[in-house]
A = this chain, B = another copy of it.
Amino acid sequence: MPESKPPRTLKHATLERLMHYYHYIGEQIAQQSMGTVSSSEIAKLLDTDDTVVRKDMAAIGVRGYPRVGFKADEVLAAIRDVLGFDNAYRAIIIGAGRLGSALASYPGFSRYGLRIDALLDSDPSRAGAIEGGVEVRPLDELESIIEAHNVGLAILTVPAEAAQPLADRMVNAGLRAIWNFAPTSLVVPSGVLVRHEHISVGLAELAYHLNRRDTKEASE
């Protein structure tokens, strides 16, 4: 067996860049069926350095071709492989409010290997409805759905006060990752991954820059 590159852990920043490469190269291919792309082309568009791009490629095991660049399909395949887009993970959404329903209808999930099996809601009268092709189920089926479908990920779109108790129940049921859209932090055992999607961080940045602009203009 040929020695395969040990895939050491990729950092958050690297994963984010990989996702950008994936989108950029995917779009380029669709538009102007080009087969190769150089590190400097990618770097220019993503506003980074070409050395960074080449190091990222090395990190995911893609080799380039001197004088030519990288083959677009090889790069896309490597990213799909590293990020597990072809693994068909099972996920559920908890909270069938507007955000939960919007996410249930989002066609992008399946492209990234995520399959939404159910949309749970605390209001039992909503059970049976279909949102974005996903059936709404009552919340007390939480544990049985997680176990029956081998669900790995829960997308939490509930009010802040409901989030922690639900997280506890899901962790007990064997869930391994939580994508938290509730505006509160969660405490979970170390084996469980929580990604907190905190909208106010973006807001802070926008507010700060809008503010700066004002003061700058005022003082000039």
Known: A97-B102, A200-B19. A206 touches B153 (CB 8 A): yes
**Interface size class for chain A?**
35 or more
Interface residues of A in 59-108 (CB under 8 A from B): 82-85, 87, 89, 97-99, 101-102, 105-106, 108
**A10 closest partner in B (C-beta):** B208
- A182 smallest CB distance to B (angstroms): 12
- Do A207 and B84 contact each other (CB < 8 Å), given the known contacts A176-B213, A199-B108, A200-B112? yes
Min Cβ gap A93→B in Å is 13
Given that A198-B19, A212-B9 are contacting pairs, would A207 and B114 also be in contact in the complex, using a CB cutoff of 8 Å? yes
6 A–B pairs (Cβ distance < 8 Å), ordered by A: A19-B198, A19-B201, A83-B204, A83-B208, A98-B99, A152-B210
A188 located at the interface, meaning its Cβ lies under 8 Å from any Cβ of chain B in the complex: no
**Cβ-closest chain B residue relative to A202:** B195
User: What 3 pairs between A and B have smallest CB-CB spacing?
Assistant: A98-B102, A84-B211, A19-B204
A193 CA / B211 CA spacing, docked (Å): 12
**Is B206's CB under 8 angstroms from A195's CB?**
yes
Q: Contact residues of A with B, CB < 8 Å? A: 9-10, 12, 15-16, 18-19, 23, 82-85, 87, 89, 97-99, 101-102, 105-106, 108-109, 112-114, 152-153, 176-177, 179, 183, 193, 195, 197-214
Residues of B within 8 A of A198 (CB): 19
Copies of the polypeptide in the assembly: 2
Q: In the bound complex, do residue B208 and residue A82 qualify as a contact, i.e. CB atoms below 8 Å apart?
A: yes
Name the residue in A9, A10, A84 with the highest tally of chain B Cβ atoms < 10 Å from its Cβ: A84
Taking a contact as CB atoms under 8 Å apart, the answer to whether A183 and B108 are in contact is yes
Give 20 A-B pairs besides A87-B210, A177-B209 with Cβ atoms closer than 8 angstroms.
Answer: A12-B205, A82-B208, A83-B207, A84-B210, A85-B207, A89-B210, A97-B102, A98-B102, A98-B105, A99-B102, A112-B203, A114-B203, A114-B207, A152-B210, A153-B206, A193-B210, A195-B202, A195-B205, A195-B206, A197-B199
